[in-house]
Amino acid sequence: MPALDAALAAEVERWIARDPDHETRAELDALVAQGAGAELRGRFSGRLRFGTAGLRGEMAAGPARMNRLVVLESAAGIARYLLSHVLGARDCGVVVAHDARHRSAQFATDVARALSGHGIRVVRAARPIPTPAAVYAIRNQGCVAGIVITASHNPPADNGLKLYLGDGAQIIPPVDGEVADAITAVASDGELLPRPARAAEVGPLPPEAIDAYVSATLGRAPRVSGSIGISTTAMHGVGGELLERILGEAGFDRVSPVEAQRVPHPEFPTVSFPNPEEPGATDLLAQTMIETGSKIGLALDPDADRLAVLVARDERPPHRLTGDDVGALLGDWLLAEVTQGPDRLVVSSVVSSTLLPKVAEHHGARHVETLTGFKWLCRPAMENPSLTQVLAYEEALGYAVGPEVRDKDGISAALVAATMAAALHQEGRSLLDALDALHLRHGAHVTENFSVPDDAPGGAERCDTIVSRLVDDPPSELAGHELRRADLPAADVLRLDLGDSLRVAVRSSGTEPKLKCYCEAIEPVEGGVVAARQRARERLSRVREALSKLIVS
């Protein structure tokens, strides 16, 4: 059996000595005994990267994985940052919440212990709650930050930690770098708690905070007389109970949950990947729609910050709208039917469809384009208080409806989508009819987005390298379409204008080791909407094939 490199063996032993978890200590002991040098080098090749909103990764032993010691070091680093940068951090405190994944409750307990040990008051959710409710509670409770243990829609083996400050928004530079530096300092000096530690109160999140979230959510949609059949799924996550409550209080009395996915389950047993974007993930929802005669289906991801929408069709399976479709429909309906005034703002990201800006212009509202991620999408409204945010959205099924929502919220978006569908139903129309009308007015906007994963060690770095290569040397043509213009809305995003109303963007994911590719084609609707969409899809198919070859070359 090969001996481990001495330096690596010493690093592993130091980690084992500090690890509070007997399971992960035993895991490393076994790897050392096996002489598993390659596996250990992968786990000790740097730390789990503090990226979009915080940490996310596979649960296993070692600094490059998600485990109790990484969580404790991260929480201690966050505590140090708050104490040195945020006035009133000790007394105002931090909300700590978690989802129903494996080890989420333990990680939340560790976070609360680390913060309390630094003298920071903790408001702890005693049971799993949706991320949007936890984020709402930050401002409701007057706290300076919030930490949510969740890996959103990642596979069962993963977990993560999301960090928000007192404004209810995800952190941005330079804060993310300063927090990462504080975490690195904790890992370096090994002091998880100050000496002497002065434990602060760890109190419960009061039920009234959840009630306030429900009330605020109900206020984001007008009451519609009459109702329609709705099917829902929580995707084995934590949003189902609250979604059903809110729909019921809004007057929807024909709500049919997917029973097999209603109760939280950390293994997500009925889906291969608990992301409503993935093929097959909403199959049970579609089946329930057919069985119950529901007009729409609403699918939350496991922590309930994302939403997918399905629409019933006569004699055909339900149709799943893209995130761009839902964003345009929400924007058009909210601007046309719900809000008024010249100061209204809608926001979308650099990789989202170009339809929403046209919708905003049509309704006399302002549109702003931002970088990807809600840490950026919420900023235009926060930085321009004279503007009223009506909607912020990105194509990856994330929506923030209303002026005070600063992160994606699948539950409130579900309520507004249901209300919109019910209002259209009273007119004898569906969401698909409304989408047809939008395309007739602005052209058929069709998007096709896909990802290229790289799950092997070093995958995230390789994805970054591919984007850098394309940035340095963009293609002169793609699928026979000559490059008109290449721009870099961000250092890690390449966007290609191919003319003929074709646009492509490529970026490296901020949360997973994968390349994300976004393609849009726009077609005039002479000859009808259906034919126009088909022409767009045919062009996108050729572009996708050429782009895939370019990426792997």
Q: Where are the alpha helices (DSSP H) in 19-156?
A: 22-34, 37-43, 68-85, 89-92, 104-117, 131-140
The DSSP code sequence of 167-187 is TSSB--TTHHHHHHHHHHHHH
The model carries a pTM of: 0.95
Kind and range of the H or E run holding 394: strand 388-394
The owner of tokens 């930490």 is 147
pLDDT (tens digit, 0 to 9) for every residue of the chain, 553 residues total? 456 889 999 999 999 999 999 999 999 999 999 999 999 999 998 899 886 578 999 999 999 999 999 999 999 999 999 999 999 999 999 999 999 999 999 999 999 999 999 999 999 999 999 999 999 999 999 999 999 999 999 999 999 999 999 999 999 999 999 999 999 999 999 999 998 878 999 999 999 999 999 999 999 999 987 789 999 999 999 999 999 999 999 999 999 999 999 999 999 999 999 999 999 999 999 999 999 999 999 999 999 999 999 999 998 999 999 999 999 999 999 999 999 988 999 999 999 999 999 999 999 999 999 999 999 999 999 999 999 999 999 999 999 999 999 999 999 999 999 999 999 999 999 999 999 999 999 999 999 998 888 777 777 788 888 888 888 888 999 999 999 999 888 777 899 999 879 999 999 887 677 899 999 999 999 889 999 999 999 999 999 999 988 887 7
* Identity of the residue numbered 345: L
Domains of the chain: 46-206 (3.40.120.10), 211-299 (3.40.120), 323-441 (3.40.120.10), 443-552 (3.30.310.50)
Q: Are 43 and 64 in contact (CB under 8 A)?
A: yes
**Residue closest to 106 by CA, chosen among 77, 149, 139:** 149
**Residue closest to 414 by CA, chosen among 167, 230, 206:** 230
The owner of tokens 């039920």 is 207
3 state SS of 122: strand
Task: Please give the structure tokens belonging to residue 12.
Answer: 């592993």
Looking at residue 261, what DSSP letter applies? Answer: G
The DSSP code sequence of 344-381 is EEEEEETTS-SHHHHHHHHTT-EEEEE-SSHHHHTHHH
Indicate if 412 belongs to the active site: no
CA dihedral 207, 213, 215, 220 (to 10 degrees): -170
CA dihedral 186, 190, 193, 195 (to 10 degrees): -120
* Active-site option among 74, 104, 152, 231: 152
Q: Are 65 and 52 in contact (CB under 8 A)?
A: no
